[in-house]
A and B are shown apart, each in its own frame.
Chain A
Amino acid sequence: MNWEVVIGLETHAQLSTASKIFSGSSTAFGAAPNTHASAIDIALPGVLPVLNRGAVERAIRFGLAVGGKISKRSVFARKNYFYPDLPKGYQISQYEIPIVQGGALTIATGRGEKTVRLTRAHLEEDAGKSLHEDLRGMTGIDLNRAGTPLLEIVSEPDLRNAAEAVAYAKTLHALVKWIGICDGNMQEGSFRCDANVSVRPSGETKLGTRCEIKNLNSFRFLEQAIEFEVRRQIELIEDGGTVVQETRLFDPDRHETRSMRSKEDAHDYRYFPDPDLPPLVLDARWIERVAAELPELPEAMKSRFEDKYALPAYDARVLTSSRELAAYFEAVAADLPDRAKLAANWIMGELSAALHKANLEVVDCPVPASALAGLLRRIDDGTISGKTAKEVFDAIWERAARPAVHGAGNGAATRDALSADSIIAQRGLEQISDEGALERIVDEVLAANESVVAEYRSGRQKAFNSLVGKAMQATRGKANPAQVNAILKKKLGA
């Protein structure tokens, strides 16, 4: 039996407003429990919600970025249920009429690009946190998070395997950071995904029974959970059982999903429009203003990179994975006209590796774009070899990362300290490119290694490389390897 997997993702992105969606309390993470919870957040008798304009603006930005329809009129609804971290006994959300409808995201899959449709996105408030550990059998309720603005983004069930789901989640994650509506910090819970997974026989159009998997706060867990769940459902059906619609939690230690034992699945939320909030009516001019202020979006920028810099699709996609990375690339490329590919290679390679090793984001990159451009220029004009360039890069990084040690203090001094030229000069790293000098060195090598030359003449190709190596050794790596190659070939009549 061939099975088709059907996956839809519900993502909660915490919007990056300074205060909560219906109260003025701070949304800052990590405060002592219940210090960011006002009368409104605690649901004291008599309090009322007041909508945060910044949350609405971020929702509009998202809707425009995914090509969705911004509802001119949307309605807040109460979702009623009892839980200690939900102070009012209801969550203010949006039900029948959300602020964004439709939209789509393009993701990269193993088989090329794919469009994933969005159903909707709506505004709602987050609940507080329940802490069950270290409280002597009691549960502690921290309401700091209660009332934080969320954008719930719902995809159509267009995803067909775990890899696609992860690609979608990563693309969405990058987008919400790109347009500045969410900091995407998954450890702090700013971006949370729930997966709805079902299976059906290949060719079947009716959807199978789905299970919702919660508690997925990393892309890795998302992938593992979906893979486990797919296997579980298929095995269950093949063994003659039926999938029960339920909510399941992912256990990251055992890499499996487990049914939630609570009665949550039986919930009737009794949604009704919240009488404390008038319908949200959006001025067309506001939407236009938000549209005008949107930055160039990742897809558009990717296309532009392919055109303007003649980069392959893969490079363009990697370089547009964040605005900061794209901006860094463009700054380097601007300094290095017509050598954009060189810049792309170095940024995707050496620079990214160094950032990763130092656990830094591009925004905190110690090496200014101008310094990298300066280095790449010296490769391009043959002053140094590619191999030497790596050594120079490491030196620049070292100096930039610890300016005090290297005496780089004021601007001009810093610029100089971080320039490839100063390092090349200080360490005498210039490539030897003088044809005459190189010819003399090759002659000396050939003279000193007659046995190797003989080996070469008797057909051993590796001997050639050995001679190149000896020439490089003789120049302590500074000979221009391409020229050495050419001279050797000429002298050996190869």
Chain B
Amino acid sequence: MLAGSITEVAAALRTKRYSCVEMTRTLLDQIERLNPTLNAFITVDPESALADARRGDAAIAAGSAQPLTGIPIAHKDILATAAMRTTCGSKMLANYASPFDAHVADRLKRAGTVLVGKTNMDEFAMGSSSETSFFGPVRNPWNIAYVPGGSSGGSAAAVSARLVCGSTGTDTGGSIRQPASLSGICGLKPTYGICSRYGLVAFASSLDQAGPFAQTAEDLALLLNAMAGHDPRDSTSLDRPVEDYTRTLAAGRGVRPLSGVRIGLPREYFGAGIDAGVAAAIDEALTELRALGATTVDIALANVRLAVPVYYVIAPAEASSNLSRFDGVRYGHRAASYSDLNDMYEKTRAEGFGAEVKRRILVGTYVLSHGYYDAYYLKAQQVRRLIADDFRRAYQGCDVIAGPTAPTAAFRIGAKTDDPVEMYLNDIFTVAANLTGAPALSIPCGFDRNGLPVGLQLQGDAFTEAMLLDVAHRFQQATDWHKRAPTLAVEARSLPAEGAQ
């Protein structure tokens, strides 16, 4: 009775194979057993979760169950929630209680989900390994000596370890897709503006998007259905007709369901620097996609090699401004003693922020400063436009762009923390979708030679989420990578509940 997929669990709950409360209690036990090892959760609130579960059971009994009623989920600790503290993995907000819920959190609550807790993450979403958290690193359920990816590592690990059915993350440069890839699960970043940013603690405002983690593409679609939609409180939220992201998934399309789908393969995504095991898994995945009827076509994205440097100018710039509000004046950490205002600011921020956050604030301040703005920030925004133009041209000749989500599978905890630039190169395949605002997802497609998961990234033009999910879903109907669970979760399945026989 561990967290199966959303569709499985929803069916079980509706047919009363078990109740929401029973399911939630079991998962809470599991979390209590595994979280000390994985450190996926910063906060778990059993009382609040069980209250949600009771509401779910009542709805099922009343016949008013929704597709996500009773489904246990977790939120990345960067989403504001009134029920539980919101820390962003930082000492700065270690005890911060938000008076309001993030819009997407509120939507998922109204969709009937059970909120189990808030997950661990790189501090203020800055990182690709979930090692910079004030609350300690998150461990990969596939091998606890390895990172789960970042910055949404806790949310990814929680789903990977089958502690929840689904979770939320945020993706600014790949922070949903890369941990999904490294943790062997599915993750999606929607088109910029599809999910409201109200209540997401801002890292880089023009790049941040909330998105779902789950075991299957179909589950991602169910979660996205609940999360997406216009919010007048977010001026960058798009007002578009409501979409059902599951709408094409049920239809049977025969043995070659991907007939007519053209998959673009950028030569820039298949060059040197990719781990051999990753390359092999991706190759196999492409073979499978062709077997399903898709055609592949070589494409060129000439400026995408500049995506990482562009990202590491724009994101820190916006972050340096967004994090200015953490000054010890109105909420959050404030230094215990100080001699004057400037001393208070300096001590508060020196104490409250970790090294990576400070690094990015400094870089961001630098690239915006007088005399450097034109050469760095403005130039980066101009190159961003060139990258977007490349993709726009590419989509004239293909429907989906595929490739590895990350150049390697998971790496050892501590392996890259001494070299920030090496850490940044984890993002080479993911950042472009944030720069262009386009949707992208990652699904498991194999393992490397160390037995660690490999992720296949699918990207599309704006508003093509439903199509991407369909391609992923068809792949998952023909393969079973997404059904593989780490031993740690499988073993837990056979662990008896305390006191039970």
Q: Told that A48-B197, A278-B235 touch, could you supply 19 new A-B pairs with CB distance under 8 A? A: A39-B100, A44-B80, A44-B99, A44-B331, A45-B80, A46-B201, A47-B198, A48-B198, A80-B368, A84-B327, A84-B329, A84-B341, A89-B327, A270-B365, A270-B370, A272-B373, A275-B318, A276-B205, A277-B235
Flag whether A78 is at the interface (Cβ < 8 A): yes
The distance from the CB of B474 to the nearest CB of chain A, in whole angstroms, is 36
B325 contacts A89, C-beta separation under 8 Å: yes
Against B, the Cβ 8 Å flags (1 = close, 0 = not) of A79-107 are 01010100111100000000000000000
Q: Enumerate chain A residues within 8 angstroms of B200, measured Cβ to Cβ.
A: 46
A selection of 8 A-B contacts at a CB cut-off of 8 Å is A50-B232, A80-B368, A87-B329, A141-B330, A270-B365, A270-B368, A272-B317, A275-B236
Against B, the Cβ 8 Å flags (1 = close, 0 = not) of A276-304 are 11100000000000000000000000000
Flag whether B96 is at the interface (Cβ < 8 A): yes
Contact of A80 (CB < 8 Å), options: B99, B197, B324, B329: B324
Flag whether A268 is at the interface (Cβ < 8 A): yes
A78 to B323, CA, bound (A): 13
Contact of B324 (CB < 8 Å), options: A47, A90, A276, A278: A90
A420 to B465, CA, bound (A): 81
B324 contacts A89, C-beta separation under 8 Å: yes
The distance from the CB of B388 to the nearest CB of chain A, in whole angstroms, is 15
A88 to B369, CA, bound (A): 18
Interface residues of A in 11-38 (CB under 8 A from B): none
The distance from the CB of A252 to the nearest CB of chain B, in whole angstroms, is 25
Flag whether A446 is at the interface (Cβ < 8 A): no
A48 contacts B327, C-beta separation under 8 Å: no
B318 contacts A45, C-beta separation under 8 Å: no
Flag whether B188 is at the interface (Cβ < 8 A): no
Look across to chain B and name the residue whose beta carbon is closest to the beta carbon of A42.
B330
Flag whether A408 is at the interface (Cβ < 8 A): no
Q: Enumerate chain B residues within 8 angstroms of A80, measured Cβ to Cβ.
A: 321, 324, 368
A45 contacts B201, C-beta separation under 8 Å: yes
A44 to B98, CA, bound (A): 8
Q: Enumerate chain B residues within 8 angstroms of A275, measured Cβ to Cβ.
A: 204-206, 236, 318
Flag whether B485 is at the interface (Cβ < 8 A): no
Using known A-B contacts A80-B321, A89-B324, A276-B235, determine if residue A46 contacts B373 with beta carbons closer than 8 Å. no
Flag whether B233 is at the interface (Cβ < 8 A): yes
Using known A-B contacts A44-B331, A141-B329, determine if residue A272 contacts B377 with beta carbons closer than 8 Å. yes
Flag whether B102 is at the interface (Cβ < 8 A): yes
A278 contacts B198, C-beta separation under 8 Å: no
The distance from the CB of B11 to the nearest CB of chain A, in whole angstroms, is 35
B93 contacts A276, C-beta separation under 8 Å: no
Minimum-distance CB pairs A-B, first 9 = A89-B324, A270-B368, A275-B206, A275-B205, A45-B201, A46-B199, A46-B80, A43-B325, A268-B370
Interface residues of A in 130-144 (CB under 8 A from B): 141
Interface residues of B in 76-112 (CB under 8 A from A): 79-80, 86, 88, 93, 96, 98-100, 102
Q: Enumerate chain B residues within 8 angstroms of A272, measured Cβ to Cβ.
A: 317, 321, 368, 373, 377
Q: Enumerate chain B residues within 8 angstroms of A278, measured Cβ to Cβ.
A: 235-236
A78 contacts B321, C-beta separation under 8 Å: yes
Q: Enumerate chain B residues within 8 angstroms of A271, measured Cβ to Cβ.
A: 368
Using known A-B contacts A46-B198, A82-B324, determine if residue A51 contacts B86 with beta carbons closer than 8 Å. no
A48 contacts B324, C-beta separation under 8 Å: no
In the complex, the number of residue pairs spanning A and B with C-beta atoms less than 8 Å apart equals 93
Flag whether B345 is at the interface (Cβ < 8 A): yes
Flag whether A67 is at the interface (Cβ < 8 A): no
Q: Enumerate chain A residues within 8 angstroms of B96, measured Cβ to Cβ.
A: 45
Interface residues of B in 354-397 (CB under 8 A from A): 365, 368-370, 373, 377
B233 contacts A50, C-beta separation under 8 Å: yes
Using known A-B contacts A48-B198, A89-B327, determine if residue A276 contacts B236 with beta carbons closer than 8 Å. yes
Flag whether B202 is at the interface (Cβ < 8 A): yes
Q: Enumerate chain B residues within 8 angstroms of A48, measured Cβ to Cβ.
A: 197-198, 233-236
A49 to B234, CA, bound (A): 7
Tell me what chain B mostly uses at the interface: helix, strand, loop, or mixed. loop
Interface residues on B, range: 35 or more
The distance from the CB of A80 to the nearest CB of chain B, in whole angstroms, is 6
B345 contacts A39, C-beta separation under 8 Å: no
A136 to B100, CA, bound (A): 34
A89 contacts B321, C-beta separation under 8 Å: yes
A78 to B322, CA, bound (A): 10
Q: Enumerate chain B residues within 8 angstroms of A50, measured Cβ to Cβ.
A: 232-233, 235
B100 contacts A87, C-beta separation under 8 Å: no
Q: Enumerate chain A residues within 8 angstroms of B373, measured Cβ to Cβ.
A: 270, 272
B235 contacts A46, C-beta separation under 8 Å: no
Q: Enumerate chain A residues within 8 angstroms of B317, measured Cβ to Cβ.
A: 272
A84 to B324, CA, bound (A): 11
A270 to B100, CA, bound (A): 31
Residue from A39, A78, A89, A141 with most neighbouring chain B CB atoms (10 Å): A89
The distance from the CB of B311 to the nearest CB of chain A, in whole angstroms, is 14
A141 to B329, CA, bound (A): 9
Q: Enumerate chain B residues within 8 angstroms of A84, measured Cβ to Cβ.
A: 327, 329, 341
Q: Enumerate chain B residues within 8 angstroms of A89, measured Cβ to Cβ.
A: 321, 323-325, 327
A88 to B201, CA, bound (A): 13
A45 to B93, CA, bound (A): 9
A46 to B98, CA, bound (A): 9
The distance from the CB of B346 to the nearest CB of chain A, in whole angstroms, is 10
The distance from the CB of A24 to the nearest CB of chain B, in whole angstroms, is 10
The distance from the CB of B47 to the nearest CB of chain A, in whole angstroms, is 24
Residue from A46, A48, A90, A275 with most neighbouring chain B CB atoms (10 Å): A46
A138 to B296, CA, bound (A): 68
B102 contacts A46, C-beta separation under 8 Å: yes
Q: Enumerate chain A residues within 8 angstroms of B79, measured Cβ to Cβ.
A: 46
B377 contacts A39, C-beta separation under 8 Å: no
Q: Enumerate chain B residues within 8 angstroms of A82, measured Cβ to Cβ.
A: 324, 327, 345
A276 to B237, CA, bound (A): 10
Against A, the Cβ 8 Å flags (1 = close, 0 = not) of B182-200 are 0000000000000001111
A80 to B205, CA, bound (A): 15
A272 to B198, CA, bound (A): 21
Contact of A51 (CB < 8 Å), options: B235, B325, B331: B235
A48 to B197, CA, bound (A): 8
Q: Enumerate chain A residues within 8 angstroms of B86, measured Cβ to Cβ.
A: 45-46
Q: Enumerate chain B residues within 8 angstroms of A43, measured Cβ to Cβ.
A: 325, 330
Against A, the Cβ 8 Å flags (1 = close, 0 = not) of B148-167 are 00000000000000000000
A89 to B100, CA, bound (A): 21
Interface residues of B in 314-341 (CB under 8 A from A): 317-318, 321, 323-325, 327, 329-331, 341
Interface residues of B in 50-83 (CB under 8 A from A): 79-80
Using known A-B contacts A46-B201, A50-B233, A276-B236, determine if residue A39 contacts B99 with beta carbons closer than 8 Å. yes
A271 to B321, CA, bound (A): 10
Interface residues of B in 204-229 (CB under 8 A from A): 204-206
A157 to B231, CA, bound (A): 45
A268 contacts B369, C-beta separation under 8 Å: yes
The distance from the CB of A56 to the nearest CB of chain B, in whole angstroms, is 13
Look across to chain B and name the residue whose beta carbon is closest to the beta carbon of A263.
B342
Contact of B98 (CB < 8 Å), options: A45, A276, A277: A45
Residue from A42, A47, A51 with most neighbouring chain B CB atoms (10 Å): A47
A277 to B98, CA, bound (A): 23
A80 to B201, CA, bound (A): 18
A90 to B197, CA, bound (A): 19
Using known A-B contacts A46-B80, A276-B205, determine if residue A88 contacts B100 with beta carbons closer than 8 Å. no
Look across to chain A and name the residue whose beta carbon is closest to the beta carbon of B344.
A84
Using known A-B contacts A90-B324, A270-B373, determine if residue A45 contacts B368 with beta carbons closer than 8 Å. no
A57 to B369, CA, bound (A): 33
Q: Enumerate chain B residues within 8 angstroms of A141, measured Cβ to Cβ.
A: 329-330
The distance from the CB of A245 to the nearest CB of chain B, in whole angstroms, is 15
The distance from the CB of B78 to the nearest CB of chain A, in whole angstroms, is 8
A50 to B341, CA, bound (A): 31
The distance from the CB of B76 to the nearest CB of chain A, in whole angstroms, is 12
A105 to B422, CA, bound (A): 59
Against A, the Cβ 8 Å flags (1 = close, 0 = not) of B292-318 are 000000000000000000000000011
